[in-house]
């Protein structure tokens, strides 16, 4: 152990913490995944369930992680270790920290590949590739890109280096500084894009698509998809919020901070929907295009609209910023673990984590081209395994363990002191964290496994 908790770095203010945690939450999940999931799962029905899941499952889990982190003042492994000791529980709980670290690494590996796409498309859009092209040509651009392992590796490598650079600089001059610059920029870009979208013909249709409740579209599949997405988008389940909480001062109130973070996360997802769907509807494109929505459908819209290159470029810049502030939160839990428990300097720890995640990412990357026929059970490519297995299985397992630990294993006197809210709010959290969240998570898991 190289640092005593007292000398650990801390956020310089509540705002810095809220921005960093919101940066972790707001990511590809909000801008890339949310719109296509909503598109595939009936629009407003999905949005409604997702909001409910954020409120009743995601937020209690996020609070649990932050309680553990702040009270433990260490990385997930050591925090679980010392808190289980404090509560008179088995120290085996520390393995949950390890599980989180493994999940983080796996997620970072594929996350960087997709984030690399945003850089590649930023470059393509601003260099004019999408001016005056038709739908077929846009699709060819995508197919050619995906078929080129070399180019994908280039962007994946660049993105990983950017991530490491921030993480290696540490909590205050790395994570805090990066998110303080990027989050406000992200909001400005998003508002410009929504402003533009309001002037298109498809805006009214988009609002209706996202917000007009249509309960007939709520099916078990929609519920499962929305629950899984709530986890992913709130960045809970691997100990990222735990480590962010561990850099937090005692006097900051967790409840209201979590509420702000989750609200910002939802707001960005909804605004992203309001920026994207109007373009899709006014160009008579389909909202159900799946993961390619961003890279195949949107450039068609950009090629046809006035100022499309400018707005298109802004869009991919937005995607890149969002991904960057999230990827640092995936690297940080593992870097902190290596740094604090294995005496590696932060720089060395960052290099190790970056290299391993980069290397694993090559597997995902190659599964789009060279290894596209290598499939587990004839169905899942390496990318599918890295992405779906970690999001749908490992995240809920991690989230379950954290919330279960905070709600059942820790003493209520400890959690009450950490959460520091009035009694009714505390008991609402306790009810959600003890019963509602764990049971719902087991349901998601069960369904994900039998599918």
| Binding positions for ligand TRP, rule: CB under 6 A | 24-25, 27-30, 232-233, 235, 237-238, 240, 326, 329-330, 395
User: Taking the complex as a whole, how short is the minimal distance between the CB of residue 402 and ligand TRP, in angstroms?
Assistant: 11
Cα–Cα distance for residue pair 361/382, rounded to 1 Å: 9
Q: How far is CA 126 from the centre of its chain?
A: 26
User: Taking the complex as a whole, how short is the minimal distance between the CB of residue 29 and ligand TRP, in angstroms?
Assistant: 2
User: Taking the complex as a whole, how short is the minimal distance between the CB of residue 246 and ligand TRP, in angstroms?
Assistant: 15
Contact between 247 and 16 (Cβ < 8 Å): no
Interior CA angle at 208 toward 204 and 210, to 5°? 115
Q: Let me know if 295 is exposed, middle or buried by CB neighbors in 10 A (0-12, 13-18, 19+).
A: buried
User: Taking the complex as a whole, how short is the minimal distance between the CB of residue 339 and ligand TRP, in angstroms?
Assistant: 18
Instruction: Give the residue with the Cβ less far from ligand TRP, 28 or 289.
Output: 28
Structure-token pair, residue 226: 């929305």
Instruction: Give the residue with the Cβ less far from ligand TRP, 282 or 329.
Output: 329
Instruction: Give the residue with the Cβ less far from ligand TRP, 28 or 49.
Output: 28
User: Taking the complex as a whole, how short is the minimal distance between the CB of residue 349 and ligand TRP, in angstroms?
Assistant: 18
Buried b (16+ CB within 10 A) or exposed e, 433-447: bbeebbebbeebbeb
Instruction: Give the residue with the Cβ less far from ligand TRP, 235 or 285.
Output: 235
Instruction: Give the residue with the Cβ less far from ligand TRP, 84 or 326.
Output: 326
Contact between 54 and 230 (Cβ < 8 Å): yes
User: Taking the complex as a whole, how short is the minimal distance between the CB of residue 158 and ligand TRP, in angstroms?
Assistant: 19
* Beta-bridge partner residues of 376: 380
* Beta-bridge partner residues of 380: 376
- DSSP codes, 99-159: HHHHHHHHHHHHHHHHHHHHHHHHHHHHTTTTTT--HHHHHHHHHHHHT-HHHHHHHHHHH
DSSP for residue 214: -
User: Taking the complex as a whole, how short is the minimal distance between the CB of residue 293 and ligand TRP, in angstroms?
Assistant: 15
Whole-angstrom CA distances from 405 to 70, 111, 230, 433 are: 14, 28, 20, 10
Instruction: Give the residue with the Cβ less far from ligand TRP, 16 or 31.
Output: 31
Instruction: Give the residue with the Cβ less far from ligand TRP, 23 or 278.
Output: 23
Instruction: Give the residue with the Cβ less far from ligand TRP, 321 or 368.
Output: 321
Instruction: Give the residue with the Cβ less far from ligand TRP, 155 or 231.
Output: 231
Contact between 16 and 176 (Cβ < 8 Å): yes
Cα–Cα distance for residue pair 191/186, rounded to 1 Å: 9
Contacts (Cβ under 8 Å, ≥6 apart) of 361: 108, 109, 110, 112, 113, 156, 160
Count, residues in the chain: 451
User: Taking the complex as a whole, how short is the minimal distance between the CB of residue 231 and ligand TRP, in angstroms?
Assistant: 7
Cα–Cα distance for residue pair 451/15, rounded to 1 Å: 42
User: Taking the complex as a whole, how short is the minimal distance between the CB of residue 28 and ligand TRP, in angstroms?
Assistant: 4
């Amino acid at each position: 152990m190289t640092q005593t908790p007292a000398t650990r770095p801390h956020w310089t203010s509540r705002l810095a913490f809220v921005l960093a945690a919101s940066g972790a939450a707001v990511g590809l999940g909000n801008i890339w995944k949310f719109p296509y999931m909503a598109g595939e799962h009936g629009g407003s029905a999905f949005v409604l369930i997702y909001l409910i899941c954020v409120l009743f499952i995601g937020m209690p889990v996020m609070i649990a992680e932050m309680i553990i982190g702040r009270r433990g003042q260490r990385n997930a492994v050591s925090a679980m270790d010392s808190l289980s000791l404090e509560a008179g529980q088995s120290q085996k709980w520390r393995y949950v920290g390890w599980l989180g670290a493994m999940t983080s690494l796996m997620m970072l590996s594929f996350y960087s590949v997709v984030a690399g796409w945003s850089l590649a498309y930023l470059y393509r859009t601003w260099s004019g590739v999408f001016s005056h092209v038709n739908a077929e040509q846009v699709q060819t651009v995508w197919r050619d890109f995906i078929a080129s392992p070399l180019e994908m590796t280039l962007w994946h490598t660049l993105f990983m280096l950017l991530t490491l650079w921030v993480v290696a600089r540490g909590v205050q001059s790395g994570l805090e500084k990066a998110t303080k610059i990027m989050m406000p920029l992200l909001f400005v870009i998003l508002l410009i894009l929504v402003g533009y979208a309001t002037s298109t013909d498809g805006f009214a249709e988009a609002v209706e698509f996202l917000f007009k409740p249509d309960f007939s579209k709520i099916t078990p599949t929609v519920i499962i998809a929305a629950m899984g997405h709530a986890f992913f988008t709130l960045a809970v389940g691997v100990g990222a919020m735990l480590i962010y909480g561990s850099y937090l001062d005692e006097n900051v109130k967790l409840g209201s901070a979590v509420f702000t973070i989750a609200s910002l996360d939802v707001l960005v997802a909804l605004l992203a929907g309001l920026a994207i769907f109007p373009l899709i509807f006014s160009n008579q494109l389909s909202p159900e295009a799946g993961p390619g929505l961003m890279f195949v459908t949107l450039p068609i819209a950009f090629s046809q609209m006035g100022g499309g290159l400018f707005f298109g470029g802004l869009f991919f810049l937005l995607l890149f910023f969002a991904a960057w502030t999230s990827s640092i939160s995936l690297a940080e839990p593992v870097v902190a673990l290596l740094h604090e428990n294995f005496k590696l300097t932060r720089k060395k720890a960052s290099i190790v984590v970056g290299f391993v995640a980069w290397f694993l990412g090559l597997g995902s990357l190659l599964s789009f081209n060279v290894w596209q026929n290598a499939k587990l059970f004839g169905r899942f490519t390496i990318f599918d395994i890295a992405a779906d297995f970690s999001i749908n299985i490992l995240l809920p397992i991690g989230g379950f363990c954290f919330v279960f630990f905070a709600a059942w294993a820790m003493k209520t006197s400890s959690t009450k002191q950490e959460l520091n809210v009035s009694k009714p709010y505390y008991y609402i959290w306790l009810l959600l964290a003890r019963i509602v969240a764990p049971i719902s998570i087991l349901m998601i898991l069960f369904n994900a496994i039998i599918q």
